Amino acid sequence: MIVACCPGQGSQTPGFLSAWLELDGVADSLAAYSEAAEVDLVLHGTQSDADTIRDTRIAQPLIVAASLIAAAALAERAGRAPDGTAGHSVGELAALVGAGVVSAEQAMSLVGVRGRAMADAAAQTPTGMSAVIGGDEHAVLARLAELELSPANYNGGGQIVVAGALPALAALAEEPVKGTRVIPLQVAGAFHTAYMAPAVETLRAAIGAVVPGDPQITLWTNKDGSVVTSGAAALDLIVNQVSSPVRWDLCMSSFADNGVTGLIELAPAGALAGLAKRGLRGTPVVAVKTPEDLDAAAELLNGAAA
């Protein structure tokens, strides 16, 4: 079983869509996605600088659009789709498209709403996020409780992303838990925490107009790494994950339990491939960063099929 993994916010880099625009049909797709998301994806994916595309309103649609473009190109190149899919944070919207739960245009409309709502929620209180690398997990969580910080992403491989008030994050960096490194992240707020509660209801209202299909391939959820078989349940999970932790560690454990034999991280790739190499040692992984990586991904996909 080969799984397509769709990355989350922070994986975008300036100009990363330029190479994809050289493929037939991509410009038309991006035009449609831009209209649905209310974001100029071509401008921001080719010309905007790092500070501009860090804006949550822009970053989230860019990332989902890139994953959709890469997924379509891979299916054409390989002649088949992956056997399963999962997404990290906002990447879950791209995964829903891959599983047949929503259309690409529906996902792009929803990610536009999600990005704007989360940016608005983040603007209410100065907050941020930091990655904590290494150390004893119980000790890390105890320190977070002391500082009133929240674990936002359990990424596996000894990495937890924490979120909360900026003074508390500064205190954690000044006095880290023994054996850990604390790396501040360039994001605009405390995503996947209670600070995002206002965004939950905004997204819930938008999703209420969507009639989903049930997943056509295996679909995992960030909530607990379980397999989702209902389209309605998948949409409900997408809403609630805005203010709850991403359990990518449990997704990777579930990949192993379900006999996954390879992972393909869709554009803009790199982060999830790195986590897989640490958390799923020995499992073949291909990161599709540019169209040049499509052949390797197709080979992995068809090699497993054969």
Just list the catalytic residues.
89, 192
Q: Is 120 helix (H, G, I), strand (E, B) or coil?
A: helix
- The residue among 95, 116, 110, 70 whose CA lies nearest residue 231 is 95
Tell me which residue has tokens 């608005």: 120
Q: Which residues contact 149 (CB under 8 A, 6 or more apart)?
A: 162, 163, 164, 165, 168, 169, 172
- Burial of 279 from C-beta contacts in 10 A (0-12 / 13-18 / 19+): buried
**Structure tokens belonging to residue 168:** 């508390």
Distance CA 215, CA 213 (A): 6
Give the pair of three-digit tokens for residue 185.
């992240």
Distances (CA, A) of 177 to 129, 164, 299: 16, 17, 43
Distance (Å) of CA 45 to CA 16, 17, 131: 6, 5, 26
AA letter at 2: I
DSSP reduced 3-state for 88: coil
Cα separation of 108 and 147, whole Å?
A: 36
167 backbone φψ class: left, alpha, beta (φ>0; ψ -120 to 50): alpha
Q: Is 233 left (phi over 0), alpha (psi -120 to 50) or beta?
A: alpha
In angstroms, rounded to a whole number, what is the distance separating the alpha carbons of residues 306 and 303?
Answer: 5
Q: Six-digit token pair at 14?
A: 């300036």
